[in-house]
């Protein structure tokens, strides 16, 4: 027995036999080689082909006769192999079109073999039937020489040039292959091909057009490849695709790319039509006055800036009208009927209207710049003069069976309300400012109602979104986030508590945005449930005692027209009026926009201020004492929204509000 030195590397080779064909070929045990690919093509072993591709073997490699895997498979009449290869690796077409040492390409070989099936596959893939062999013979010449009449009937007379590899990849290729082809030939990104020579009859690509790879991927709905191509395509090509109103997923990919060109947040950009002129337009939503309402054309795309801080005049008129009404607004019965209609139409409205921001019951309708007492359902949009994507105009009526209400379209945005810190409170009081240790979320909220925790401990409610920038992840403990809460800020000595529960469920009904903070500093635990110090005039204005307390811990009830009081850090005592219940709103949070349902809207004569998220909302009971009804979390201008306190307590551990004798 001979032994080799330990320094000599030995490559193990296994011998395999294809059961169907009897062909023998070698495989490297530690991976595929180009010879594995050639043997697989010869024997028609599709599984081995896939392994070669997984091992990143270049499908365009040639053997000693200058033949690729496609040449070899066609020469051996491996039709299934050819079909699979063309489908998963379209860039093999250009290599297969090269002439081998015999002066033949893959199509010539198919004709010589008399292989009609392979010929049809290659011709459909875009092989040019006018290309001659080294001897100057066309496929027609070769078919006639060999008396292959069945092939003569298949040969097209168009003589057109085949598509570049990138265009084939756009239709049915993979993202990896697309990236590789772009590296090899970047100029093909802007090359247009004639769709009349479309080799893919199964794809609905319009005829009589000139299309780039992006447009081909768009029409073939090859989304994964389109996501690669859009990063390199021109704005003109992207706009051409958008103008045909693609499906939502494709639409979002294209708009996101335009947003990157314009250096804006993709969530703040929409593409659609101006209702008045029917022009295609890109809308960029902003909180700045820059270019408000003006049209211009960056990179050839008609664009308009829309300032979200500009209040809709109709909405302002409606709010003032409702606040001035002497008679009550909606009765509970009316509100329930409207809420039923909203629930019945909610899914279709949010699905079909990308410009929609909120669905609200209302006792006031606007027409011609004036407000009237009329029950209606308000559809709040981002831009009244604009239709996003394929959406149709809003319906004039909404119904559920025999129950029907008119629609009033208004323009409005709703945001979560967080801001900066206030004075230090010791002990803590309702309405005080607080901030968490999550430095990624540098926003302040309000200390809400106090709750009784196990073992006699005390906590308070606030909103989850002021605790963490990603509240959906729940309570986390790591080096960057340790659940601590400070009041009023993160300065030394301002620690007041620790987060023990967080519930953020936009998908629920009602939706939830709440957290419980356990008070960890003995000096800051309240001995009576007081509110932050307010101006005496404010107390008198709302007919409350000079020193407010909420020691009963009672949970109150309210109607769609109840008077309520909100105690936020920046609007300390705010007298409000319920407008309706069962609202659905798209809320702009620090981490993005989410859909919230089952909300109650409150109106007031002054604007709600940032920093009030987490504030308690109260009513006066029959004994003229306060009872809690909700947790305030968002709003805009004179409108605000709260989550019912019963649902907050139920979803946050079923705790009770704190009581004192």
Residue 536 banded pLDDT, cuts 50, 70, 90: very low
| 423 vs 46, residue with greater confidence | 46
**Residue 613 banded pLDDT, cuts 50, 70, 90:** very high
Strand 386-388 versus strand 24-28 pairing type: unpaired
pLDDT for res 136: 85
For the ranges 118-132, 455-469, 473-487, 564-578, the lowest mean pLDDT is seen at: 473-487
> Between 78 and 137, whose confidence is greater?
78
Radius of gyration of the chain (CA): 35
Q: Count CA atoms closer than 13 A to 336's CA, side-chain side.
A: 4
Q: Predicted confidence band at 26 (pLDDT cuts at 50, 70, 90)?
A: very low
What's the confidence (pLDDT) of residue 19? Answer: 35
pLDDT at 236: 83
- 382-401 residue pLDDT tens: 888 888 877 888 999 999 99
176-196 pLDDT per residue, tens: 878 888 887 788 888 888 887
For the ranges 64-73, 161-170, 544-553, the maximum mean pLDDT occurs at 64-73
Q: How many CA atoms lie within 13 A of 423 on its CB side?
A: 10
pLDDT at 312 exceeding the cut of 70: yes
pLDDT (0 to 100) of residue 332? 92
At 10 the pLDDT is 32
User: What pLDDT sits at residue 450?
Assistant: 95
Given 3-state DSSP classes, what are the helix, strand and coil percentages for the chain, each rounded to the nearest 5?
A: 30, 25, 45
Q: How confident is the model at residue 420 (pLDDT cuts 50, 70, 90)?
A: very low
- Can you give the pLDDT at residue 76? 95
446-to-432, 443, 568, 614, 615 alpha-carbon distances in Å: 6, 10, 6, 5, 5
* Per-residue pLDDT at 294: 60
> What domains are there in the chain, each with its CATH number?
13-152 (1.25.40.20), 187-307 (no CATH), 315-412 (3.30.300), 416-657 (2.40.10.120)
β-bridge mates for residue 88, sequence order: none
Range with the poorest average pLDDT among 477-491, 609-623, 646-660:
477-491
Q: Both tokens of residue 461?
A: 């409610």
Can you give the pLDDT at residue 75? 94
Q: Token pair for residue 214?
A: 């992006």
Question: How much is the average pLDDT of 345-372?
Answer: 91
Highest mean pLDDT among 139-153, 235-249, 340-354: 340-354
Asked whether the predicted pLDDT for residue 480 surpasses 70, the reply is no
pLDDT of residue 537: 45
Listed in sequence order, the residues at least 6 apart from 183 whose beta carbon sits closer than 8 Å to its beta carbon are none
Say whether pLDDT at 123 is over 90: no
pLDDT of residue 155: 66
* 269-274, strands of its sheet edge to edge: 295-296, 303-307, 280-286, 269-274, 386-388
Q: Which residue has better confidence, 3 or 251?
A: 251
CA distance 130 to 155: 10
Instruction: Please say if the pLDDT value at position 576 is more than 50.
Output: yes
| CA–CA separation, 74 and 616 (whole Å) | 76
- Tell me the average pLDDT of the chain: 82
Write down the pLDDT at residue 529. Answer: 82
pLDDT at 142: 87
- The predicted structure's pLDDT at residue 80: 93
Alpha-carbon gap, residue 598 to 581, rounded angstroms = 7
Contact between 496 and 434 (Cβ < 8 Å): yes
Instruction: Tell me what the mean pLDDT of segment 570-585 comes to.
Output: 86
Residue scoring higher pLDDT (473 or 529) = 529
In the prediction, which pLDDT does 197 show?
72
What is the mean predicted confidence (pLDDT) over 608-624?
87
């Amino acid at each position: 027995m001979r032994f080799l030195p330990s320094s000599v590397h030995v490559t193990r080779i296994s011998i395999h036999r294809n059961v169907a064909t009897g062909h023998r070929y070698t495989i490297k045990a530690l991976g595929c080689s180009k010879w594995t690919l050639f043997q697989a093509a010869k024997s028609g072993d599709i599984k081995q082909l896939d392994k070669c591709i997984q091992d990143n073997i270049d499908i365009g490699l040639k053997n000693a006769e200058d033949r690729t895997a496609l040449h070899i498979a066609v020469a051996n009449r491996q039709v299934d192999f050819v079909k699979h290869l063309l489908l998963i690796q379209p860039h093999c077409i250009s290599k297969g079109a090269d002439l081998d040492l015999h002066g033949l390409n893959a199509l010539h070989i198919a004709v010589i073999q008399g292989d009609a099936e392979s010929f049809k596959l290659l011709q459909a893939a875009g092989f040019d039937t006018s290309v001659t062999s080294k001897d100057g013979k066309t496929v027609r010449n070769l078919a006639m020489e060999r008396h292959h009449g069945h092939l003569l009937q298949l040969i097209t007379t168009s003589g057109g040039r085949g598509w570049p590899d990138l265009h084939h990849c756009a239709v049915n290729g993979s993202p990896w292959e697309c990236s590789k082809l772009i590296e090899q030939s970047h100029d093909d990104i802007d090359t247009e091909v004639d769709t009349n020579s479309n080799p893919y009859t199964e794809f609905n690509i319009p005829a009589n057009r000139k299309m780039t790879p992006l447009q081909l991927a768009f029409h073939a709905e090859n989304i994964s490849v389109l996501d690669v191509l859009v990063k390199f395509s021109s704005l003109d090509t992207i706009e051409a695709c958008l103008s045909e109103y693609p499906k939502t997923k494709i639409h979002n990919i294209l708009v996101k790319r335009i947003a990157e060109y314009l250096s804006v947040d993709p969530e703040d950009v929409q593409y659609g039509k101006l209702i008045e002129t029917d022009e295609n337009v890109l809308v960029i939503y902003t909180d700045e006055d820059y270019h408000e309402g003006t049209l211009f054309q960056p990179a050839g795309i008609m664009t308009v800036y829309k300032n979200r801080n500009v209040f809709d005049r109709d909405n302002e008129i409606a709010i003032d009208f409702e606040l001035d009404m002497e008679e009550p607004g909606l009765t509970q019965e009316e509100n329930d009927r409207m809420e039923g209609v909203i629930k019945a139409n909610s899914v279709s409205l949010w699905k079909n209207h990308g410009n929609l921001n909120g669905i609200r019951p209302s006792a006031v309708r606007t027409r011609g710049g004036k407000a009237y007492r009329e029950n209606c359902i308000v559809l709040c949009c981002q831009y009244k003069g604009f239709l996003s994507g394929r959406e149709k105009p809003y319906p004039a009526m909404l119904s559920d069976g025999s129950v029907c209400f008119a629609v009033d379209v208004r323009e409005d945005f709703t945001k979560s309300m967080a801001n900066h810190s206030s004075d230090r409170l010791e002990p803590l009081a309702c309405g005080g400012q607080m901030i968490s240790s999550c430095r990624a979320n540098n926003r302040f909220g309000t200390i809400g109602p106090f709750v009784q925790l196990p073992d006699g401990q005390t906590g308070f409610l606030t909103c989850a979104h002021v605790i963490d920038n990603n509240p959906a992840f729940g309570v986390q403990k790591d080096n960057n986030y340790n659940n601590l809460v400070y009041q009023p800020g993160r300065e030394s000595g301002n620690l007041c508590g620790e987060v023990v529960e967080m519930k953020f469920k936009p998908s629920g009904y009602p939706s939830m945005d709440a957290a419980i903070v356990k008070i960890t500093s003995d000096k800051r635990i309240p001995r009576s449930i007081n509110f932050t110090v307010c101006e005496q005039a404010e107390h008198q204005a709302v007919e409350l005692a000079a020193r407010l307390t909420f020691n009963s811990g009672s949970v109150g009830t309210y109607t769609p027209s109840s008077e309520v009081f909100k105690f936020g850090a920046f609007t300390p005592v705010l007298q409000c009026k319920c407008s309706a219940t069962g609202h659905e709103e798209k809320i702009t949070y620090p981490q993005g926009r989410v859909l919230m349902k089952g909300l109650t809207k409150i109106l007031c004569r002054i604007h709600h201020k940032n920093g009030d998220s987490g504030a308690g909302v109260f009513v006066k009971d029959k004994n003229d004492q306060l009872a809690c009804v909700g947790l305030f979390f968002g709003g805009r201008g004179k409108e605000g929204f709260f989550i019912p306190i019963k649902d907050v307590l139920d979803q946050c551990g079923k705790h009770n509000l704190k009581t004192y004798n």
